[in-house]
Amino acid sequence: MTSRSKIRTVDPVFPDADSIAAAARIIQNGGTVVFPTRCLYGLGADAHNTEAVARIYDIKRRRRQKPILILVHDRESVVQWAQTIPETGRRLMDRFWPGRLTLVLEAKPKVSEILTGGTGKIGIRLCGHPVARALIQAAGRPLTGTSANLSGRAGSSEVTSLPPRILAGTDLVLDVGPLSGGAGSTVVDVTEDPPKMLREGVISEADVFTALGRTPAQYG
């Protein structure tokens, strides 16, 4: 299949059922799909399938020591992956989900080290983009939520800027047109007290700590 023939144009709000079903079948069969998130295009595989996740690492040339977060379509799914959800995590979910915020939680023992990078922690986000949510729901399983980029390089907000290696390595691309771009999701580790800001993205550090009723200085 040529790179161009892998690309399906879909509506960003009301994606057609056939395209979503085709992408879901690929995920269920251990393949990979490029799909939109709020800011950038992501590279998705079945988070339960270690071989599929390993393929994500290979396509991106990503070191195995770097964890890969997962995307879920409802909050109830979080407890299948996380040992506990601290009160700080619940408050941040209430304030910022869906989308925009990735929470790092203690992973259950059954969670593969290929996702945690050997850290014992798992990053989880309730995805906000309608196409991503439809895909996860149709596939019936969480997806990897890593950007569709080569490791260390900028992500892509348009399908036309996807690296050739990504296009060659993936099985299908769901193209909704240009996305907003930018820094991507904010990442907060809530396994620690105080929570630790790992990456400041579309949600500022100040907004995160305001949602917790504190300031960064008070936590410091």
pTM above 0.85, yes or no: yes
Query: Which amino acid does the sequence have at 127?
Result: C
The pLDDT tens digits of the residues spanning 45-101 come to: 999 999 999 999 999 999 999 999 999 999 999 999 999 999 999 999 999 999 889
CB within 8 Å of 69: residues ≥ 6 apart: 102, 122, 123, 124, 125, 144, 145, 146, 187
- DSSP lists the bridge partners of residue 44 as 33
In the chain, where are the structural domains located?
A: 4-219
Q: What are phi and psi of 24, to 5 degrees?
A: -65, -40
Tokens representing residue 6 in the block: 């892998």
Q: Around Cβ 175, how many Cβ atoms within 10 Å?
A: 21
Cα→Cα distances 72→116, 119, 139, 207, Å: 16, 20, 11, 23
Residue type, 38: R
Architecture of domain 4-219: Alpha-Beta Complex (3.90)
Q: What pLDDT is stored for residue 99 in this prediction?
A: 87
Per-residue pLDDT reduced to its tens digit, 126-168: 998 999 999 999 999 999 999 999 998 988 999 999 999 999 9
The conformational region for residue 180 under phi > 0 = left, psi -120 to 50 = alpha, else beta, is alpha
> What whole-number distance in Å separates Cα of residue 152 and Cα of residue 165?
14
| Cβ contact 99:148 at 8 Å | no
The token pair at 119 is: 């850290």
